[in-house]
């Protein structure tokens, strides 16, 4: 996990060279407190001009234009949308994928788990916003099904996944209702039980990375990289809604790059 241009983190994973991916950190932008400084979300009360400047800076760091970035209006749903071209307005979904070059799939987080996907050939890419509600309700399986079934279809075994910065298990304390949303008599529900560690007062510490890995494995995805971050405890690096409710958002993004493709 290496910080690079414009304070972004680049995945260490065996994606093809023409698949470009990363996640922004909270530093390097122009937003003022309490959003300092690289907030990319328009819905948190930050200054609109500062957000636009931050988005432009991130786009230019990737040698793209802001018009190539598809942003979402995320609602903790299980909706995934395929895009052929970028829309001017945010799309109402929690996952987005494309088979088009130079079209940047983007999700925003500040404790929830971003998941980036590509296939082994780099013919399609996806970004998923996976909070606990989305994970419990099937955002991973919905995304994998949509990702694989668009013609020409691919097998889930061809997918490579990267888990970006999210709340770590030491800080993700949840109630019994969250555990009950994951743990049941199904095979995957029994596996999910291992991701919860009982605490006092009927609370549990939950491992969102483990829950996502179990969900990906259940869909046939086994090439999984990343994880090991904690947005709560790495306060200089990441925004965290649990640490401070009035805060910004990071962006996790992925796209198929024409220039890299032509150089292969």
User: Out of 3.10.105.10, 3.60.140.10, 3.10.620.30, 3.40.50.300, which CATH number does the structure's domain 2-168+219-259 have?
Assistant: 3.60.140.10
CB contact at 8 A, 5 and 248: no
Enter the tokens of residue 160: 């490579």
pTM strictly above 0.85: yes
pLDDT tens digits in sequence order for the chain, 264 residues long: 333 346 899 999 999 999 999 999 999 999 999 999 999 999 999 999 999 999 999 999 999 999 999 999 999 999 999 999 999 999 999 999 999 999 999 999 999 999 999 999 999 999 999 999 999 999 999 999 999 998 899 999 999 999 999 999 999 999 999 999 999 999 999 999 999 999 988 899 999 999 999 999 999 999 999 999 999 999 999 999 999 999 999 999 999 998 865 444
Model pLDDT for residues 63-120, shown as the tens digit of each residue: 999 999 999 999 999 999 999 999 999 999 999 999 999 999 999 999 999 999 999 9
Q: Dig out the tokens for 247 from the structure.
A: 């805060």
């Amino acid at each position: 996990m290496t910080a690079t241009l414009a304070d972004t983190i680049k995945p260490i994973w065996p994606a093809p060279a023409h698949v470009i991916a990363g996640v922004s950190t909270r530093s390097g932008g122009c937003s003022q407190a309490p959003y300092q400084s690289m907030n990319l979300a328009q819905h948190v009360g930050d200054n609109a001009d500062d957000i636009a400047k931050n988005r432009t800076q991130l786009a230019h760091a990737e040698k793209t234009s802001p018009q190539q970035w598809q942003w979402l209006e995320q609602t903790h749903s299980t909706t995934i949308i395929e895009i052929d071209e970028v829309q001017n307005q945010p799309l109402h979904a929690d996952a987005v994928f494309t088979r088009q070059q130079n079209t940047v799939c983007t999700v925003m987080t500040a404790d929830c788990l971003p998941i980036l996907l590509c296939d082994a050939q780099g013919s399609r890419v996806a970004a998923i916003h996976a909070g606990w509600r989305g994970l419990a309700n099937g955002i991973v399986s919905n995304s994998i099904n949509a990702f694989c079934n668009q013609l020409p279809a691919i097998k889930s075994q061809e997918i490579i996944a990267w888990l970006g910065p999210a709340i770590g298990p030491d800080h993700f304390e949840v109630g019994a209702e969250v555990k009950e949303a994951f743990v049941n008599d199904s095979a995957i529900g029994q596996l999910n039980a291992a991701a919860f560690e009982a605490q006092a007062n009927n609370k549990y510490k939950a491992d969102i990375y483990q829950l996502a890995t179990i969900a990906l494995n259940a869909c046939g995805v086994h090439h999984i990289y990343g994880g090991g971050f904690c947005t709560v405890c790495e306060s200089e690096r990441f925004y965290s809604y649990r640490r401070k409710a009035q805060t910004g958002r990071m962006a996790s993004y992925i796209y198929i790059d024409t220039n890299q493709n032509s150089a292969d």
